[in-house]
Amino acid sequence: MRRMSRRAGGRVRAQNAHDPGTFANGGARHPSTHTAMFNEPDEHQEIRDAVRHLCRQFPDEYFREIDARKAYPERFVDALIEAGWLSAMIPEAYGGTGLGLTAASVIMEEINRSGGNAGAVHGQMYNMGTLLRSGSAAQKEKYLPAIAAGKLRIQSMAVTEPTTGSDTTKIRTTAVKRDGRYVVNGQKVWISRVQHSDLMILLARTTPLAEVRKKSEGMSIFIVDLREAIGRGLTVKPIANLVNHETNELFFDDLEIPEENLIGEEGCGFRYILDGLNAERTLIAAECIGDGYWFVERARKYASERVVFDRPIGRNQGVAFPIADAFIEIEAANLMRFEAARLFDEMKPCGAQANMAKYLAAKASWEAANVCLQTHGGFGFANEYDIERKFRETRLYQVAPISTNLVYAYVAEHVLGLPRSF
């Protein structure tokens, strides 16, 4: 009996890597890039094309092997740094390209749309928001040129704690000023990329909660040099998890931080860090949109080629309509992503838009993931199709960096004017 290929039967159309209709990892690309389906030029097309060109050097097999080993994609990250993509938000005066959050979000989108995982590098982007907008001139001069040159990485932000979760104002990690230094004690959890970063943004209480007028006061942010801190007051404990995502528990035991590493004014850290959080949510939205397009394209291609009962399964409305629905949801989320990024770049309030973009994009990508898996049936569970890997990766964003319920709470209170729920 002839053994059938696991790449299920049907008419398989070869893809030419030089065909403008091909996707970044060699698969077919949908003709739309955010607004292209409406016959409008994409002002970011040059960035998209360049990132896709880089991503072609790291096909599905590369990320599949990295995922199997629970490893960090060092070669891919090095290539992004070498090409200057991770310095997109750093002003030209400091050696960056000064492109802003909108362009940074396009970079993150294209990485995921190409089958990669921007979670390995997105911290460098959103941590820029905090340092750029709240750091001193001396701090920018000290760190930004080295980050832009790829000599330093600032991939980590330490905010969440095991006993407080999303209730950031109740954090217990303290930083006490003593003899020109801050002494830090406490614990953080779910802090990512610590083992692949040189610098970390830390939020800690410098004034006890009982002594402040508003619970959002009395917190400060610091730059922590991880090369000096680990083993000298900072202990890092990795957390094994569902996704290939390096994340950790941190234990601070009399860690000393130089006074000049305080960002901005003492006690105002919560307000400063909001910029970084808004940037983070907008970038995560872009990554989810990239995932969503990836899932839709894989489902579209498979449904067009997989023949059952003598016809492509995509001819069945029960298969085609869910794919179309997923695409519509992604396109809608994409509009909110660009609105949030635009407001951020224009230095305007964007908390509502950043939260809504993250919610819409995470929801759309997860629905697209389910549609893609369902379309492929049993083959979707096979590692070689990469769907199960991307399925796990995009599921994270229903929970992080902010849960769906907290987005609801924010919109209910700050947009709709409903009574505060907590």
The sign of the CA dihedral 76, 82, 84, 90 is positive
State the pLDDT at residue 228: 97
Does 20 score more than 80 pLDDT? no
Task: Encode pLDDT of 259-308 as tens digits.
Answer: 999 999 999 999 999 888 999 999 999 999 999 999 999 999 999 999 99
Place of tokens 């299920």: 8
Of 148, 175, 204, the one marking the end of a domain is 148
69 and 129 belong to one structural domain: yes
Note whether residue 383 is domain-resident: yes
Measure Cα distances from 363 to 110, 141, 153, 202, 334 in Å.
Answer: 19, 40, 30, 29, 12
Instruction: Tell me the angle at which helices 137-148 and 122-134 cross, rounded to the nearest 10 degrees.
Output: 160
CATH number at residue 113: 1.10.540.10
State the pLDDT at residue 86: 94
Of 247, 270, 293, the one marking the end of a domain is 270
Give the containing element (helix H, strand E) for 223: strand 219-225
Q: 382 or 41: whose pLDDT is higher?
A: 382
Q: Which two tokens stand for residue 385?
A: 């199709």
Note whether residue 143 is domain-resident: yes
Pairing of strands 234-238, 247-258: antiparallel
Number of domains within the chain: 3
In the chain, what is the straight-line distance between the N-terminal and C-terminal CA atoms, in Å? 65
Instruction: Tell me the angle at which helices 269-305 and 351-376 cross, rounded to the nearest 10 degrees.
Output: 30
143 and 202 belong to one structural domain: no
CATH number at residue 292: 1.20.140.10
C-alpha span between 333 and 293 (Å, rounded): 11
φ and ψ at residue 5, rounded to 5 degrees: -65, 145
Which of 256, 359, 296 is closest to 23 using CA atoms? 296
Of 237, 270, 303, the one marking the end of a domain is 270
230 and 282 belong to one structural domain: no
Structure confidence at residue 128 as a pLDDT band (50, 70, 90): confident
177 SS3 class: strand
407 and 285 belong to one structural domain: yes
Task: Encode pLDDT of 99-109 as tens digits.
Answer: 999 999 999 99
208 and 260 belong to one structural domain: yes
103 and 78 belong to one structural domain: yes
225 and 241 belong to one structural domain: yes
Task: Encode pLDDT of 223-237 as tens digits.
Answer: 999 999 999 999 999
- Its domain, for residue 287, covers 274-415
111 and 171 belong to one structural domain: no
C-alpha span between 230 and 221 (Å, rounded): 18
Note whether residue 30 is domain-resident: no
Q: 64 or 20: whose pLDDT is higher?
A: 64
Burial of 307 (0-12, 13-18, 19+ CB in 10 A): middle
278 and 364 belong to one structural domain: yes
131 and 230 belong to one structural domain: no
Q: Which residues are catalytic?
A: 280
Q: 385 or 274: whose pLDDT is higher?
A: 385
State the pLDDT at residue 130: 87
Does 1 score more than 60 pLDDT? no
pTM of the model: 0.89
Note whether residue 422 is domain-resident: no
247 and 335 belong to one structural domain: no
Q: What is the DSSP string of 116-136?
A: --GGGTHHHHHHHHHHHHHS-
52 and 85 belong to one structural domain: yes
Which of 196, 394, 170 is closest to 295 using CA atoms? 394
Residue ranges of E strands in 310-351? 311-312
C-alpha span between 118 and 108 (Å, rounded): 6
Lowest-confidence segment of 11-25, 41-55, 71-85 by average pLDDT: 11-25
Note whether residue 248 is domain-resident: yes
C-alpha span between 295 and 327 (Å, rounded): 9
Does 340 score more than 80 pLDDT? yes
State the pLDDT at residue 38: 44
Note whether residue 1 is domain-resident: no
Note whether residue 19 is domain-resident: no
Structure confidence at residue 421 as a pLDDT band (50, 70, 90): confident
State the pLDDT at residue 35: 39
CATH number at residue 189: 2.40.110.10
Note whether residue 17 is domain-resident: no
Percent of the chain whose pLDDT exceeds 90 = 85
Which of 47, 103, 35, 28 is closest to 330 using CA atoms? 35
Task: Encode pLDDT of 31-71 as tens digits.
Answer: 344 434 444 558 899 999 999 999 999 999 999 999 999 99
